[in-house]
Amino acid sequence: MSKKKIILLIAIPLIVFYVSLFVGRYSADPWTVLRILLSKVFPITHNWSSTAEVIVIQIRLPRAILAMFVGAGLSISGAAYQGMFRNPLVSPDILGVSAAAGFGATLAILLSANIWELQLVAFAFGVLGVTLTYFIARIYKTTPTLMLVLAGVVVAAFFGALVAGAKLIADPVSKLPAITYWLLGSFNRATYKSLYTVVPIIILGSIGLQLVSWRLNVLSMGDDEARSMGVKTESLKFFIIACTTLITASAVSVSGIVGWVGLVIPHVGRMIVGPNHRWLLPTSMALGAVFLLVVDDIARTATPLDIPIGILTGLIGAPFFAYLLRRTKGGWK
Amino acid sequence: MKNRLPGKIRWIAGLCSVFIALSLIAASCSAAVTSTSTTTTTTTTTPTSTLTTTTTTPTTTTTTTTTGPFTTPPPTTTTNPAATTVLTVVNGNTSQNYTVEQLQALETTAAYGTTKSGTTITGPNDYIGVKFTTLLKASGGMTSSEALTITAQNGSTEDLSYAQIYQGTVNTYTLTGSTAAAGQQPLFMVIYSMNGNPLDAKTGPVETGIMTENDRASDASLWLPMTTQITIHPATRTVTDSTGAVVIIPWTVNRIADAWHANNEIVMLLGGGSKLVATTTVVQGLPWFIKLDPAITTIPAPFTSTAGQVNMEMLIATNPDVLLCSAGSFTAATMAQFAAANIPVVQMPAATFADLQTTVNITAQVIGPQALPIAANYISYLNGNIQTVSSVTSAIPAAQRPTVLHTSQYVVLSTDGSGSLIDAWINYAGGVDVASATVSGNQKAITAEQIAAWNPSIIIVGTAPNAANVQSILSDPQWSSTTAVKNKAVYANPTGVYLWDRYSAEEALQILWSAKLLWPTKFANIDIVQETKNFYSTFFHYQLTDADVAAILAGNGPPS
């Protein structure tokens, strides 16, 4: 890991972040944006419209921060899972967190819950879904990865069926569009209030994963090898699952289901810094943050409509993943 | 594989023999049924039959030959019923009037009739009357492509098919109430005498009844007391729907399935609410609809919120005469299934105010002639309101018009752009739809930033829970820069039987409400509370209280 790469991985997200604040349907020049931001800290005369201030401070800033944290969180979760499962096709929702959180959100919408209750219920169901998966997969105090994957498929299928059923009875004018839209993911409802709950969880979870990154390297060689090297594989797996679940569930609860980021970004990270998790995890975070922020900028700028983020990540992520599969010839380096 | 083949062949042979055996059994059963029915048909002519139809052509006019077990004295009536017309048979342009005497002059029949209503069996009684077939023959006959409507003095009607009259295809029951096997052909008859006496005032002077063997009963619902008219008409009629399809529907539509949520309200408005036999789960969740027509929750709902979805078995089980839907809501494959199930489908348009009128007209045609004046009345009311409002607002220059955002912001933030009904009423009301320049169509997701950039001066919130949504917009910092929020000009859209803002009959009220909201001084004469009360009383025959109207205007359900 060269110093140049480290500087770039810090600088690029910051530049994209700043650019995001003056890109949008409402034109605000970079200088005004800078002064609006500084005016929150230093006394500067307000010579801009209140609309510009609301758009930069209340709409773009929380939205950009949220997109970055969700992108970072999903990417580090994906990288950790791909190492733990020793499988490049694993994404953060392999254990059913997205499907379960999706059902939680659907339920909240059907019950006309407000946006905070919705976030809470989605988070709770996401955690519940993974808990179910974990206990279904647990045999004789061990959790073989194959059992985890299969149990995840079971839980995801179950909650997916519940969502499909709920959509059948939802009101087509108010509830159904809300459910459909939520399931495709969007940062449109990003507010500071949502940041206060989501950002700390994602930071804590990421620190947790970073702390076990070298054990993750050992684990990625296989359970038996890891055990022979003195790693307590079961408690390590539990810790990794707990961290990624908290990250993913909180990300999904506020942004809806954003696919492909957690699957594709770790591969890009591995191309840049190699498979050592100590560097792969933070690199994935930086790349994920930039990727999702750019995608969200497109989503809110390309048309007056708010394009669901899940559509764009799929449109960009799927062809890219196909390219990667061709390039690596299905191999896992 | 080779050595398994004989085993496979044995299996197939075994299956075939089972199949052949089953079909033989089935064939012999059907043969048995056929032979039974043949024998019963022959028994109708033999005197051993218990359905004693003694056909007489009386020379005397008043004496009745049958004496029943009940010997009640004949009722003393002040008027002579024989002198007045008691029955009219209409066939096309010709009609034939009958007095009781004239009926008695026809070929008369004496027979038994028994009714079953629920578990109550009444009869058997001795009836004398004239068979429908005789009456119809006297009026030029009836073909198998025709049907009958019989009308009672109180206006209630009953429809009878050719098969019911000429083949007696009605259910019969034993006198204990269980369904009876096919017996002799039940006969529809116009009755003027029961147990030797003229009919009483509750059932007569003539009644439609079904003559059966003396140990058989028929459904009381098919009997029509105080019958005054028999009309012969084609069995079907056609309605041209919005796709140009000429749809063949029964002459009298009694059973309507409606897959289009908002159209259920229009059916109710046009007086066809009691004809609805299948609706949508969405309609069954509309608080005001349920308040006005509680029966809506008791009928099957084969349609869900997902457009184009249908539970075909559930729909077929409701035996609908016709299915109403918005144009293009079902795929060709589903339409083929409807056709296979002999369910005529009438499609109607949804996009504009002109479409709303077309939809009301087509729906009225489907319901029947009694709905046409209601439709005309509604359309003139709708156009009157459009005229009232636009005659004032059309003079307002574009620069003076307030910018209006109609939105729903539950999880997804959305608005309706050009080409939508919402855009249309905002224009009638004298406003400018902020979305119309860049967004087209219904319910498009938009960004909070775009709303701040549009900076609407009035915001109308159109999704339940409307009132809560208004509060959340007013307190949301993301909306705080808009003129509407600064001036607290954020309003809940009214919701009645259906949403006022889209697709519903209550669009007529929405025009008045929105005009008054945007231009209170220009429309000071509009009393929206009174208008709403009048509308509900005229079209839904429901008297709203002040509290009811307040709840509707706030977008809430009925006050408890």
Structure confidence at residue B65 (pLDDT): 37
Task: Say whether B481 and A51 touch across the interface (CB within 8 A).
Answer: yes
Structure confidence at residue A14 (pLDDT): 93
Say if residue B305's pLDDT is above 80.
no
Least confident segment among A12-16, B81-85, B153-157: B81-85
* A36 interaction partners in chain B (CB closer than 8 Å): none
Q: Does B464 touch chain A (CB under 8 A)?
A: yes
Mean pLDDT of chain B: 83
Least confident segment among A229-238, B235-244, B345-354, B500-509: A229-238
Instruction: Give how far B273 is from chain A: nearest CA, Å.
Output: 21
Structure confidence at residue B24 (pLDDT): 54
Structure confidence at residue B2 (pLDDT): 44
Q: What is the mean pLDDT of residues B549-555?
A: 92
Structure confidence at residue B257 (pLDDT): 96
Out of B68-82, B202-216, B281-295, give the one with best mean pLDDT. B281-295
Structure confidence at residue B367 (pLDDT): 94
Which tokens is B316 given?
Answer: 């077929």
Say if residue B67's pLDDT is above 50.
no
Rounded Cα distance between A151 and A143, Å, is 10
Structure confidence at residue A241 (pLDDT): 93
Sign of CA dihedral A82, A85, A87, A92: negative
Q: Does B453 touch chain A (CB under 8 A)?
A: yes
Higher pLDDT, B434 or B51: B434
Structure confidence at residue B318 (pLDDT): 93
Say if residue B156's pLDDT is above 90.
no
Which tokens is B309 given?
Answer: 């979805």
Task: Say whether A55 and B464 touch across the interface (CB within 8 A).
Answer: no
By C-alpha distance, which of B273, B289, B281, B279 is closest to B257? Answer: B279
The domain defined by B236-380 folds into: Rossmann fold (3.40.50)
Q: What is the mean pLDDT of residues B121-142?
A: 86
Least confident segment among B6-20, B263-277, B412-426: B6-20
Out of A66-75, B130-139, B215-224, give the one with best mean pLDDT. A66-75
User: At B22, is the pLDDT very low, low, confident or very high (cuts 50, 70, 90)?
Assistant: low
Structure confidence at residue B50 (pLDDT): 47
CATH 1.10.3470.10: does it fit domain A3-328?
yes
CA quadruple B506, B508, B514, B520: dihedral, nearest 10: -130
Instruction: Give how far B349 is from chain A: nearest CA, Å.
Output: 18
Structure confidence at residue A168 (pLDDT): 81
B236-380 and B396-553 share one CATH topology? Answer: yes
Say if residue B51's pLDDT is above 80.
no
Q: Where in chain B are the domains?
A: 54-65+82-234, 236-380, 396-553
Say if residue B68's pLDDT is above 50.
no
How would CATH label the architecture of B396-553?
3-Layer(aba) Sandwich (3.40)
By C-alpha distance, which of A151, A129, A130 is closest to A139? Answer: A151
Say if residue B425's pLDDT is above 70.
yes
Q: Does B307 touch chain A (CB under 8 A)?
A: yes
pTM comes to 0.73
Structure confidence at residue B18 (pLDDT): 60
Structure confidence at residue B55 (pLDDT): 57
Say if residue B554's pLDDT is above 70.
yes
How many A×B Cβ pairs under 8 Å?
122
Residue B200 φ then ψ, to 5°: -80, 175
Residue B95 φ then ψ, to 5°: -140, 150
Say if residue B75's pLDDT is above 60.
no
Instruction: Quote the crossing angle between the two packed helices B372-393 and B528-539, to the nearest 10°.
Output: 160
Structure confidence at residue B203 (pLDDT): 83
Least confident segment among B198-207, B222-231, B253-262, B492-501: B198-207
For residue B286, what is the nearest residue in chain A, using CA coordinates? Answer: A171
Structure confidence at residue A304 (pLDDT): 79
Tell me what percent of the residues of chain B surpass a pLDDT of 90. 41
Rounded Cα distance between B537 and B3, Å, is 82
User: At B69, is the pLDDT very low, low, confident or very high (cuts 50, 70, 90)?
Assistant: very low
By C-alpha distance, which of A51, A174, A309 is closest to B414? Answer: A174
Task: Say whether A305 and B465 touch across the interface (CB within 8 A).
Answer: no
User: At B42, is the pLDDT very low, low, confident or very high (cuts 50, 70, 90)?
Assistant: very low
Say if residue B171's pLDDT is above 90.
no
Residues of chain A with pLDDT under 50: 332-333
Higher pLDDT, B9 or A280: A280
Least confident segment among A297-311, B61-75, B361-375: B61-75
Contact yes or no for A133/A151 (Cβ under 8 A): yes
Among A112, A118, A188, whose Cβ lies nearest the Cβ of B465?
A112
Structure confidence at residue B15 (pLDDT): 58
| Angle, vertex CA B457, rays to CA B455 and CA B459, nearest 5 | 95
Q: What is the mean pLDDT of residues B139-154?
A: 87
Structure confidence at residue B6 (pLDDT): 53
* B412 interaction partners in chain A (CB closer than 8 Å): 177-178, 181-182, 186, 188
Structure confidence at residue B521 (pLDDT): 93
The domain defined by B54-65+82-234 folds into: Sulfite Oxidase; Chain A, domain 2 (3.90.420)
CB atoms within 10 A of CB B333: 7
Structure confidence at residue B438 (pLDDT): 86
Say if residue B294's pLDDT is above 90.
yes
Rounded Cα distance between A80 and A83, Å, is 5
Largest CA-CA distance found in chain A, in angstroms, rounded: 68
